[in-house]
């Protein structure tokens, strides 16, 4: 299907695979999508700037690159940066079309329904989109797809007006008469208000007057707030809604001066916010910020997981605002005809952006139009036809599933460097743009349908890098399809998932089944492998201590939620495997001490000590904390045995006392990711598993036992 990207200052239309359904979502075949002249044109300008200019604007991103280079090396960092620059910007957040299919848990929509959709990353400029149920509204009869495609802008304007709480007879000023300002003007008029509009563009003032604006003011003619005072008989406006954009602080300062005492100002647009106390204090003004479409916006529980807020407590969610706006359009209370400057076929997307930015009298809005359902058909499988090229017989055809930041920074560059072992056959993502972009950078065909890739005989193995809650189920689907699996940790988040994996291999000897390798990469580090070799001749048990200065991750991050399972299951499992690797023994007991979170700032799995005892008599302790300083090294291992000591410091250096040849050092940490892939390839060819199944299971069982203790659950 076709999708629009912004690359190097231009709109580019590319072919990407169609999206597939996920729980709580709807597939929509798009008829029209609306281009935002504010947000999207800003993205076009930014993407066309030289890299050094963008770096100056976003120093925090530069710091991320520096940190990545220090931790992962220059080569890996350059690969990631180049990939991001080549990806382009996915654009669009307001569209309308016909429902193609719904997930089994969605019952409010069905195939053939006419719907309007909103949301960045969901309602993109694409022929087919997958949208969460709470970001969809049914289109009333009589409202065209073209008009309904403005639903996101309408909901934003409506939420701004709701925040202003207008009453009959009040006077409001709308600052900025672009799309949001024009719609807000009409909404205020529908509320029985007198409306004053200001804009530096006289054409927009004229357009506002035609739509019912009572007074139009050009701020360049003089102090706008003095004109507002004259129009309101020196009282001042009851409220001001700022829908303009601009880096300066004068816009908001002027809005405050326009208000009467105890008036209110609502910020919808993107303006400078160096507030002056005297502008607000003397009049006792209320300053309110309106967040996008309304309550629910940026709440993953509402948008991604489909949570419904109780109507008694939250009457106007973003979903309800979308529906209310469409009802107003249907009733003729809001007119969009004069705002839409033209419809452009999606193939001519660049012409639409050009019309908005460079024509002498740019329109307020431009729409992209897509082929009607009768004119186009999408494949039942959202995957391009499998290439006829087969992987070379001496190489392993691999599909990378979930090409997120980690896969792009680590696994994909490593797979590329191991061309004698691997042939990247496919890149699988739930996001069509990401699948296409990553496949162009690293090779393979883009796909969104996991099952279709499992049916590809050219795929010998999977590298699964999805979020943690999908690990076990996707690994099992791959194993049952006869594919070898390198599964990023953790192996499982629950005992039921782990039992299912064990049951699969219990049916017959593991050697008769595909190889499963959980991504416990630290054991493949040259430092860990050398340490294992040095202690292999020991004559007594070991005392092992490991400190992980993990750093703080905000509680709202996915790692702490249902998708991640928490930091013990998601990261500390690495160390339980390392303990197992060094001892090569079964664990006999697990004890945990933790610091319960005193507030929501810390998670329950952020700070704890896990003490383990093994059958060989060795004891091991992991200290895991988020309380340390980020400048302090993250990981430190000490092994005490036979009157000798081994130390691994942040996978940069191995040192010891009492051991010969215990010195290793590098400038870049080596946590074993590349060697892990080499061992995976070797294991597929030899049939010898890189990590025995019992050790993968044991590391996971330890993590689950620790999790029970941390969460106060009985085992």
* 188: Cβ contacts below 8 Å, ≥ 6 apart: 161, 166, 172, 174, 195, 241
pLDDT on residue 36? 79
pLDDT at 11: 92
Please report the pLDDT score of residue 602 as a whole number: 73
- Asked if 261 contacts 284 with a C-beta cutoff of 8 angstroms, the reply is yes
Per-residue pLDDT band for 86 (boundaries 50, 70, 90) equals low
Does the pLDDT of residue 73 top 80, yes or no? no
Chosen CATH of 521-711 out of 3.30.1130.10, 3.30.360.10, 3.40.50.20, 3.90.180.10: 3.30.360.10
Of the candidates 104, 71, 202, 80, the one whose C-alpha atom is nearest the C-alpha of residue 630 is: 71
Is residue 109 scored above 90 in pLDDT? yes
Cβ atoms 258, 228 nearer than 8 A? yes
Q: Over 70: is that where the pLDDT of 83 sits?
A: no
Q: What is the pTM (predicted TM-score) of this model?
A: 0.86
**pLDDT over 90 (residue 570):** yes
| Antiparallel, parallel or unpaired: β 136-138 and 114-118 | antiparallel
Work out the average pLDDT over 681-686.
Answer: 95
Q: Is the pLDDT of residue 375 over 70?
A: no
Per-residue confidence band for 52, with pLDDT thresholds at 50, 70 and 90: very low
pLDDT at 223 over 50: yes
**516-559 residue pLDDT tens:** 999 999 999 999 999 999 999 999 999 999 999 999 999 889 99
What is the CATH architecture of 2-150+300-369? Alpha-Beta Complex (3.90)
In this prediction, residue 661 carries a pLDDT of 84
Q: Which of 684, 272, 657 is nearest to 461 (CA)?
A: 684
**Band (329; pLDDT cuts 50, 70, 90):** very high
pLDDT surpassing 80 at residue 85: no
Whether the pLDDT of residue 363 is over 90: the answer is no
pLDDT for residue 89 is more than 50: yes
If you write DSSP's letter for every residue of 222-239 in order, what string do you get? S-HHHHHHHHTTTS-EEE
d(CA 434, CA 440): 10
Burial 73-99 (b: 16+ CB within 10 A, else e): beebbebbeebeeebbbbbbbbbbbbb
Of 266-275, 382-391, 397-406, the least confident = 382-391
CA 100 to chain centre: 25
- Portions of the chain given CATH number 3.90.180.10: 2-150+300-369
* pLDDT score of 487 more than 90: yes
Among 150-164, 332-346, 397-411, 506-520, which stretch is predicted with the lowest mean pLDDT?
Answer: 506-520
Computed over every residue of the chain, the mean pLDDT equals: 91
* CA–CA dist 10, 497 (Å, integer): 47
Alpha helices in 101-249 (DSSP H): 145-148, 151-164, 179-190, 202-210, 224-231
CATH 3.40.50.720 placement within the chain: 153-289, 396-516
Instruction: Out of 73-82, 91-100, 200-209, 445-454, pick the least confident.
Output: 73-82
Strands 653-657 and 664-665 turn out to be: antiparallel
Contact 445, 427 (CB under 8 A): yes
Per the DSSP assignment, residues forming a β-bridge with 619 are 543, 613
Distance CA 449, CA 457 (A): 15
Residues of CATH 3.30.360.10 domain(s) within the chain? Answer: 521-711
Q: pLDDT-derived band of residue 248, with 50, 70 and 90 as boundaries?
A: confident
Q: Is the pLDDT of residue 595 over 60?
A: yes
Residue 649's H or E segment, with its range, is strand 644-649
For the domain made up of 153-289, give the CATH fold: Rossmann fold (3.40.50)
Under 8 Å between Cβ of 5 and 90 = yes
Least confident of 100-114, 350-364, 634-648: 350-364
Tens-place pLDDT, residues 440-465: 999 999 999 999 999 999 999 999 99
pLDDT bin (cut points 50, 70, 90) of residue 245 is confident
CATH 3.40.50.300 fits 396-516, yes or no: no
């Amino acid at each position: 299907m076709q999708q629009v990207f912004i690359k190097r200052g231009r709109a580019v239309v590319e072919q990407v695979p169609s999206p597939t359904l996920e729980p709580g979502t709807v597939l929509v075949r798009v008829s029209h999508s609306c281009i935002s002249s504010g947000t999207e044109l800003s993205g076009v300008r930014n993407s066309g700037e030289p890299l050094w200019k963008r770096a100056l604007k976003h120093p925090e991103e530069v710091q991320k690159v520096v940190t990545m280079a220090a931790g992962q090396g220059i080569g890996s960092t350059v690969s990631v940066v180049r990939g991001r620059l080549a990806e382009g910007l996915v654009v669009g957040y307001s569209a309308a079309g016909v429902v193609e299919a719904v997930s089994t848990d969605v019952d409010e929509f069905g195939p053939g329904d006419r719907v309007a959709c909103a949301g960045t990353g969901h309602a993109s400029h694409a022929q087919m989109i997958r949208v969460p149920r709470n970001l969809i509204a049914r289109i009333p009869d009589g409202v065209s797809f073209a008009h309904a495609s403005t639903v996101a802008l309408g909901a934003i304007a409506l939420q701004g007006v709701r925040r202003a709480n207008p009453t009959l007879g009040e006077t409001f000023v709308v600052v900025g008469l672009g799309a949001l300002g024009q719609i807000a003007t009409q909404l205020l008029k529908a509320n029985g208000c007198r409306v004053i509009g200001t804009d530096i563009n006289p054409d927009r003032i004229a357009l506002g007057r035609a739509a019912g604006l009572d007074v139009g003011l050009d701020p360049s003619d003089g102090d706008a707030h003095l004109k507002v005072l004259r129009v309101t008989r020196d009282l001042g406006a009851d409220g001001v809604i700022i829908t303009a954009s601009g880096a300066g602080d004068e816009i908001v300062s002027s809005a405050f001066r326009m208000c009467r005492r105890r008036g209110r100002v609502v910020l919808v647009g993107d303006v400078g916010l160096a507030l002056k106390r005297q502008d607000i204090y003397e009049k006792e003004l209320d300053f309110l910020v309106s967040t996008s479409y309304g309550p629910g916006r940026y709440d993953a529980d509402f948008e991604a997981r489909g949570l419904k807020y109780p109507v008694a407590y939250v009457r106007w969610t973003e979903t309800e605002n979308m529906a209310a706006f469409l009802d107003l359009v249907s009733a003729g209370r809001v007119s969009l005809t004069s705002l839409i400057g033209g419809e452009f076929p999606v193939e001519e997307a660049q012409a639409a952006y050009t019309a908005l930015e460079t024509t002498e009298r740019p329109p307020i809005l431009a729409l992209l139009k897509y082929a009607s359902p009768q004119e186009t058909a999408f494949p039942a499988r959202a995957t391009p036809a499998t290439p006829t090229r087969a992987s070379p017989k001496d190489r392993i055809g691999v599909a990378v599933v979930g090409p997120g930041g980690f896969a792009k920074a680590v696994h994909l560059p490593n797979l590329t460097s191991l061309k004698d072992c691997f042939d990247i056959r496919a890149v699988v993502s739930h996001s069509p743009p990401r699948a296409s972009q990553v496949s162009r950078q690293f090779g393979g065909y883009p796909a969104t349908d996991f099952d279709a890739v499992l049916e590809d005989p050219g795929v010998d193995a999977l590298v699964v890098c999805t979020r943690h809650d999908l690990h076990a189920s996707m690994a099992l689907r791959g194993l049952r399809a006869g594919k070898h699996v390198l599964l990023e940790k953790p192996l499982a988040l629950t005992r039921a998932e782990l039992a299912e994996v064990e049951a699969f291999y219990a049916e017959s000897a593991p050697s008769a089944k595909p190889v499963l390798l959980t991504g416990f990469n630290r054991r493949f580090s040259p430092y860990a492998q050398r340490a294992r070799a040095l202690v292999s001749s020991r004559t007594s048990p070991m005392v092992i201590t490991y400190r992980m200065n993990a750093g703080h991750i905000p509680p709202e991050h996915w790692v702490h939620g249902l998708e991640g399972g928490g930091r013990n299951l998601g990261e500390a499992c690495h160390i339980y495997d390392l303990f197992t690797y060094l001892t090569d023994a079964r664990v006999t007991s697990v004890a945990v001490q933790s610091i319960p979170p005193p507030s929501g700032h810390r998670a329950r799995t952020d700070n704890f000590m896990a003490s383990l005892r093994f059958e060989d008599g060795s004891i091991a302790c992991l200290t895991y904390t988020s309380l340390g300083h980020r400048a302090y090294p993250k990981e430190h291992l000490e092994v005490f045995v036979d009157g000798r000591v081994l130390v691994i410091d942040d996978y940069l250096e191995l040192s010891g006392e009492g051991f010969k040849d215990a010195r290793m050092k590098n400038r870049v940490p080596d946590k074993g990711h590349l060697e892990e892939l080499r061992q995976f390839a070797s294991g597929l060819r030899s049939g010898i598993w890189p990590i025995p199944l019992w050790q993968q299971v044991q590391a996971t069982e330890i993590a689950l036992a620790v999790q029970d203790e941390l969460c106060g659950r009985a085992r």
